[in-house]
Amino acid sequence: MKELNFTVNGTLHSVSCHPAKTLLDVLREDLDMTASKECCGKGECGSCSVLLNGEVVCSCLVLIGQVENEEITTCEGIGFPENMDIIQESFVDEGATQCGYCTPGIIVASKAFLKNIDHVPTVDEIKTALGGNLCRCTGYTKIIHAIQTAAIKQFQEKGSIQV
């Protein structure tokens, strides 16, 4: 057992656990943040996606002992029902979720993708950016629409800030 410190969604956490535990297990078991899901456990499905210092990574392949003093953002940190992010709103509006298991990972990956983009992304660009996130319910069409809608809203909002 080791005392480990790191920041999740802007709050400093101190957890006592074995250092080779995965970040995903710590989030779910020690911090009760269950948005990030475990599915394949080996970095193929993306349902455990979180932001590590702003970059999207698979939390099932990160050991907690490797992220001391680093900053993690999960889907909970992106927004809650009462203060949803543009991406989350767009997923609701477009109905881009069915069973919902992959959705938090996709929201996180979309957030990282849209942060670095200066245009409304094409379908191909979205497919490349989300290539690591599998959904077994839908045909991805609505997910792709939701991300495009979010991008449009993001630019409208930025425009209004400038005015």
Partner 1 sequence: MLVSEIEIITPISVNDCLLLLSKNETEHRIIAGGTDAVVRMKEGKWRPSAWINIKGLKDLRYIKEKNGAIHIGPLTTHTDIIHSPLLQKRADVLVEACREVGAVQMQNMGTIGGNIGTASPAGDTIPALYVLEASIELQSINSSRIIPINQLFTGPGRTVIKPNEMITNIIIKPQTENEIGIFQKLGPRKAQSISIVNVAIMLSMASNRECLGGKIAFGSVAPTIIRAKKCEALLSLNPLTDDIIENIAKVAWKEVMPITDGRATAEYRRDMASALLERGLFRLMRRWENK
| Token pair of 131 as six digits | 């290539």
Based on the shown chain and the rule CB under 8 A, indicate whether residue 122 belongs to the binding site for partner 1: no
Q: Which of 112, 117, 120, 142 binds partner 1 (CB under 8 A)?
A: 112
Minimum Å distance from CB 55 to partner 1? Answer: 4
DSSP-derived 3-state class of residue 64: helix
Q: Of 84 and 112, which has the nearer Cβ to partner 1?
A: 112
Minimum Å distance from CB 158 to partner 1? Answer: 23
* Cα–Cα distance for residue pair 3/66, rounded to 1 Å: 13
Q: Which of 131, 156, 157, 158 binds partner 1 (CB under 8 A)?
A: 131
Minimum Å distance from CB 32 to partner 1? Answer: 20
Tell me, residue by residue from 29 to 68, as one string, x for binding to partner 1 by CB under 8 A and - for no binding. Answer: ------------xxxx-x--x--x--xxxx-xxxx-xx-x
Sheet of 71-73, strands arranged across: 11-17, 2-8, 71-73, 49-52, 55-58
* Cα–Cα distance for residue pair 49/38, rounded to 1 Å: 10
DSSP-derived 3-state class of residue 123: helix
Sort strands 2-8 and 11-17 into parallel, antiparallel or unpaired. Answer: antiparallel
Based on the shown chain and the rule CB under 8 A, indicate whether residue 143 belongs to the binding site for partner 1: no
Phi, psi angle pair for 50, to nearest 5°: -135, 170
Minimum Å distance from CB 132 to partner 1? Answer: 3
Which residue ranges make up the site for partner 1 (CB under 8 A)?
A: 18-22, 41-44, 46, 49, 52, 55-58, 60-63, 65-66, 68, 109, 112-113, 127-133
